[in-house]
Amino acid sequence: MADFDAVVIGSGLGGLTTAALLVKQGLKVCLLEKNNRLGGYAVNYTARGHRFDVATQALGGCGEGGIVSALLRDLGLYNKLTFLPCEPARIYHFPDSPAPFIQHGFLKEQRNLLCSLYPDQRLAIETCFEVFTTLFAELQDIAVADTSPLFGFSKKYPALARYGRLTVKEFFDSLHLPEKLQIRIGARSGYCMLPLSDLSLVAFACTEMSYGGGAWMVRGGVGQLVTVLGDYLREDRVEIYRKSRVERLLFAGDKVVGVETRQGKKITGKAVVMAVDGSGILAQSEEPCAPLLAKYKKMACTGSYLVSYYQVPLDCVENMQANIEVRLPRQIIAETTKIDVYYLLIPSLVDKDSAPEGKHSFCVSVPLRAGVMPDHHERLAIRMRLEQLVVELYPRLAGKLSFLFTLGPDHFKSMTGNSNGAAYGFSQTVSQSGIYRLGNNPRIAGLYLAGHWTMPGGGIAGVMTSGKLCARAVINDVCHLEKLTSKSMPS
């Protein structure tokens, strides 16, 4: 007899969503988290009265009909949270134009804006958005298909068959889109941390569609989402073990039957869900894990970020927007790091309660390539260089940036166990995206995967979707599909 129906490893939003959906179906669930605090990257830090979402700039899927809102409604939790819209979603300073480019939160407005800026390209722009919509719909369908999706694939999933192996750049080139327009339609590629020439079209389509119903922040911080899901689990008497790092999986023959923690505690379950970077656990586990571990080792991770947090006086951010991306005309070298893009975030413009009276909160972040781990000295040099760049662009901020703290890849790694502090799991290249991404059911009996290393990929909306897909796979196996009505499955 197993102790639990399902043992979930990791309390990021992928693990929390999986656990909540399993518990909703009446499964006996246990959640193991290595930290004292739940949430993984989805936590808030507070400094001098400022509250920062340390690893979330904006969430997709929180509007009407969005993935996050639908999941929360399904769990009866939607009304416990308030989502605040970031409109415009982001403004961009591109080197090819002095005027900032505004990205609307909503796809329809965005498409209309692009058509008005490039009227002779209307048809191509509309084709792009149609393809994004169809790819997203097909991928959602394939993810929950009960039969092997490979049978009759090109008939059932014509867009995936046609575009599934293209980069965004290849797709845009096939439509003969001018370079300037490619940059604008592909503006959100920054969220995937890859240039258009390396980024999978399918992954970009998912990002575009998940933000297509607006970009959002959670009132009170993204940690509220974690609190609400955590309370839901506790109300259903889910056993939550904090400070419990899982070291390895336990096997009976070829089947995973439980986990062992660093403290030597063994917990058994009919299903074990890894909602973490599984490379460490797989390396400590037995032979049946070897093919999956080999897969992990072959795949490339996304990079991480160096983020500096500040407070600024109210008046010096007047006329600025909450979410800004600045692409530089050339790479600027700050010690070991090349900087060609950076981000500014003023979260208190969206949620004014996140800053103390008379102040705004301000973040400057820069993406770092996978494996780049600047030490204290290099971090300082990068921060200084970024402050110079920010002040060159917004002179009103000169002398006004009052530094609070910095987080880098090493912090993100120790927070979550993600290799090199990877921000979004495996990189969204063509061979690691869409149907080529690690699935939620990795063909080791008893083992399931969720979180940003798996399908469909990183970001809050992505990992909550992975939780839904993973819960579905577990319920399928553990409860035997035939006994459940389709109504009672996570829809």
Site string for ligand FAD, 272-301 (x = CB under 6 A): ---xx----x--------------------
If phi > 0 it is left, if psi is from -120 to 50 it is alpha, else beta; for residue 138 that is: alpha
Among 166, 201, 460, 478, binds ligand FAD (CB under 6 A): 460
Shortest separation between residue 420's beta carbon and ligand FAD, angstroms: 11
C-alpha torsion sign, points 434, 438, 440, 442: positive
Shortest separation between residue 358's beta carbon and ligand FAD, angstroms: 27
Q: What share of the chain is helix, strand, coil (3-state, %, to 5)?
A: 40, 25, 35
d(CA 478, CA 70): 24
Q: Does 33 bind ligand FAD (CB under 6 A)?
A: yes
d(CA 264, CA 261): 5
CA distances from residue 232 to 20, 80, 240, 248 in whole angstroms, order as listed: 7, 11, 12, 28
Footprint on residues 225-254 left by ligand FAD (CB under 6 A): 245-246
Among 27, 29, 58, 320, binds ligand FAD (CB under 6 A): 58
Q: How many CA atoms lie within 13 A of 23 on its CB side?
A: 24
Of 15 and 172, CB closest to ligand FAD: 15
**Phi, psi (5° rounding) for residue 42?**
-85, 60
Q: Does 62 bind ligand FAD (CB under 6 A)?
A: no
Q: Does 55 bind ligand FAD (CB under 6 A)?
A: yes
Among 8, 20, 31, 57, binds ligand FAD (CB under 6 A): 57
CA distances from residue 113 to 108, 126, 133, 222 in whole angstroms, order as listed: 9, 12, 18, 30
Which residue from 286, 291, 284, 288 is spatially nearest to 247, judged by alpha carbons? 284
Footprint on residues 393-422 left by ligand FAD (CB under 6 A): 412, 416-418
Shortest separation between residue 295's beta carbon and ligand FAD, angstroms: 17
Query: Considering only 80-88, 96-104, 135-143, 459-467, which stretch makes contact with ligand FAD by CB under 6 A?
Result: 459-467
CA geometry: angle 223, 225, 228, nearest 5 deg = 110
Q: Does 435 bind ligand FAD (CB under 6 A)?
A: no
Q: Does 458 bind ligand FAD (CB under 6 A)?
A: yes
Among 92, 157, 305, 343, binds ligand FAD (CB under 6 A): 305
Residue 80 and residue 388 in contact, taking contact as beta carbons nearer than 8 Å: no
Q: Does 344 bind ligand FAD (CB under 6 A)?
A: no
Footprint on residues 182-211 left by ligand FAD (CB under 6 A): none
Residue 14 and residue 275 in contact, taking contact as beta carbons nearer than 8 Å: yes
Shortest separation between residue 424's beta carbon and ligand FAD, angstroms: 5
Query: Considering only 5-13, 156-164, 370-378, 384-392, which stretch makes contact with ligand FAD by CB under 6 A?
Result: 5-13
Which residue from 152, 124, 206 is spatially nearest to 460, judged by alpha carbons? 206
d(CA 37, CA 226): 10
Q: Does 351 bind ligand FAD (CB under 6 A)?
A: no
Q: Output the residue with the shortest Cβ distance to ligand FAD.
A: 40
Q: What is the residue whose two structure tokens read 């415009």? A: 88
Which positions lie near ligand FAD, rule CB under 6 A? 9-15, 32-35, 40-42, 55-59, 245-246, 275-276, 281, 305, 307, 412, 416-418, 423-424, 451-452, 458-460, 463
